[in-house]
Amino acid sequence: MSSLSVDHLLGIKYISAEDIQLIFETADQFKEVINRPIKKVPSLRDITIANLFFENSTRTRLSFELAEKRLSADVINFSAASSSVKKGETLIDTVNNILSMKVDMVVMRHPNPGAGLFLSKHVKASIVNAGDGAHEHPTQALLDCFSIRERLGDVAGKKVVIVGDILHSRVALSNIFALQKLGASVKVCGPKTLIPKYIDKLGVEVELNLEKALQWCDVANMLRVQNERMDSSYFPSTREYSLQYGLTKAHLEKLDKEIVVMHPGPINRGVEITSDVADSEQAIILDQVENGVAVRMAVIYLLASKINRDDR
């Protein structure tokens, strides 16, 4: 397989295991590139990419921007806070105005689930979903699985527990889809109030006890509590949440094995993970950040290759 089966990256559920493997193989090559003294390649000199972020973002936006610049693409950055969206302009009008500047690809984060899918049906550009509400965050799941593959050799056959606010997390949903497509076993762990009712339909087991989940897993992906998405209280206090579901050095020392610890960021140190765990050898959090650039380079490059081929 030499090209993606899709023209957009809207969510992990829309792509195949073969697509993911192609992205990983391409990311392997780009990881080698970004560790050279000269980190840029001229692959996308004729491609213009617009980054549209309708929600606040630091890490994801910077990672995409760096990936685009490493590929020598022309980059337009758009912030909703200072745009005509504030004046009542529709999403389609906003994007079409940007596309009239001959933009080839749109990387978009939006608070509404399905925004990327909606946009893909109404505009002539390749769409990359950089997070749509509490729905999906496909490139985060790809970089997480790539990081597991890098540390453990393969994703297939591994046991991964996702711990924390599963209910509001787009990272959790995309990770579940990606891990299952790659042959991993997945459990979720957290307070009952933060586990979605539909979770059993995804073929995922629920473990309410953190220590039991850690005994089972090879990898623990720790999520933060998404307070900005909560309209009511889901647990008594942050301190109680931390006591029940915060990962500490004591937890790791109790295990008869060494597990890999992950976190998509931003970290709330002392809540879902303590500093000594986050900064330990078992944590691959900074590797995830580095791999995020290589994986996003791969996604953009492969989608742009399809644009070029269609245009010829």
pLDDT computed for residue 229 by the predictor:
41
Residues near 37 by beta carbon (within 8 Å), at least 6 away in sequence:
none
**Percent share of the chain, pLDDT over 90:** 79
SS3 (DSSP) at 42: coil
pLDDT computed for residue 231 by the predictor:
47
pLDDT computed for residue 228 by the predictor:
46
Q: How many helices (H) and strands (E) does the chain have?
A: 11, 9
pLDDT computed for residue 260 by the predictor:
98
With b for 16 or more beta-carbon neighbours within 10 A and e for fewer, the 79-117 pattern comes to ebeeeebeeeeebeebbeebbeeebbbbbbbbeeeebbb
Mean pLDDT over 69-93 rounds to 79
Among candidate residues 31, 61, 70, 109, the one labeled active-site is: 109
Among candidate residues 13, 59, 69, 159, the one labeled active-site is: 59
pLDDT computed for residue 243 by the predictor:
93
Residues near 206 by beta carbon (within 8 Å), at least 6 away in sequence:
187, 188, 189, 195, 199, 200
CB 149 within 8 A of CB 175: no
Mean pLDDT over 203-228 rounds to 91
**Percent share of the chain, pLDDT over 70:** 92
| CA 84 to the chain's CA centroid | 28
Residue 85's pLDDT band, with cuts at 50, 70 and 90, is low
Q: How far is CA 17 from CA 22, 97, 163, 167, 209, in A?
A: 9, 35, 24, 25, 31
Look up residue 295 and give its two tokens: 């994986």
> Which of 60-64, 99-103, 127-131 is predicted least confidently?
99-103
Among candidate residues 87, 124, 192, 309, the one labeled active-site is: 87
pLDDT computed for residue 309 by the predictor:
46
Among candidate residues 26, 60, 94, 139, the one labeled active-site is: 60
CB neighbourhood size of 77 (10 A): 14
The DSSP H or E segment spanning 187 is: strand 185-189
Query: Does the structure show a pLDDT above 50 at 241?
Result: yes
Q: In what order do the strands lie in the sheet with 185-189?
A: 205-206, 185-189, 159-163, 219-222, 260-262
Active site (annotated) includes residue 59: yes
CB 191 within 8 A of CB 235: yes
Mean pLDDT over 155-175 rounds to 96
Residue 237's pLDDT band, with cuts at 50, 70 and 90, is confident
Active site (annotated) includes residue 109: yes
Report d(CA 250, CA 246) in Å as an integer: 11
Q: Are strands 105-110 and 74-79 parallel, antiparallel or unpaired?
A: unpaired
Q: How far is CA 294 from CA 103, 145, 211, 231, 268, in A?
A: 22, 13, 34, 36, 25
Q: Are strands 105-110 and 48-53 parallel, antiparallel or unpaired?
A: parallel
Mean pLDDT, rounded, of the chain: 92
Active site (annotated) includes residue 70: no
Mean pLDDT over 168-189 rounds to 97
Among candidate residues 135, 137, 170, 251, the one labeled active-site is: 137
Mean pLDDT over 249-271 rounds to 95
Mean pLDDT over 56-62 rounds to 91
Q: How far is CA 206 from CA 97, 185, 190, 198, 199, in A?
A: 46, 12, 8, 11, 8
CB neighbourhood size of 25 (10 A): 11
Residue 87's pLDDT band, with cuts at 50, 70 and 90, is low
